[in-house]
């Protein structure tokens, strides 16, 4: 499952390229199953952290870290991406309709 549960936080002054943050994630990764990614592309600026359980009994969840000044462009990007997903779902749904 993907995107079953997610949270967004807005942190003033967060640096998506911060080496100390990356080091902290590498240390945490020794004890817990996480994956961290600077997901910034174009106008979208965010760091995503994915948390996984030890087996399939746990649902993965995601934390997105945004800067306050990136909120509107990131939100717009999510809306655009969501619309593309909805269009894709409709195409697949329509494929099963009788002709």
pLDDT band at 30 (very low <50, low <70, confident <90, very high): very high
Half-sphere exposure of 37 (CA within 13 A, CB side): 8
pTM score of the predicted model: 0.75
Distance CA 1, CA 56 (A): 10
With 0-12 CB in 10 A as exposed, 13-18 as middle and 19+ as buried, what is 64? middle
The phi and psi torsions of 97 (rounded to 5 degrees) equal: -75, 150
DSSP string for 17-67: T-HHHHHHHHHHHTTSEEEEEE--BTTB--EEEEEE-SSTTS--EEEEEE-
pLDDT at 17 over 90: yes
The token pair that represents 48 in the structure block = 């995503």
- Higher local confidence (pLDDT), 83 or 21: 21
Q: Give the mean model confidence (pLDDT) for residues 51-76.
A: 90
Distance CA 54, CA 32 (A): 8
To which residue do tokens 């943050």 refer? Answer: 21
């Amino acid at each position: 499952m993907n995107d079953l549960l997610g949270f967004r936080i807005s942190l003033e002054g967060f640096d998506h390229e911060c080496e100390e943050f990356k080091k902290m994630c590498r240390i945490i990764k020794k004890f817990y199953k996480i994956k961290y990614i600077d997901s910034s592309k174009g106008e979208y600026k965010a760091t995503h952290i994915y948390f996984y359980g030890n087996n399939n009994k746990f649902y993965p969840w995601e934390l997105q870290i945004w800067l306050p000044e990136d909120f509107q462009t990131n939100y717009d990007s999510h809306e655009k991406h969501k619309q593309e997903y909805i269009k894709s779902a409709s195409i697949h749904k329509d494929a099963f309709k009788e002709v």
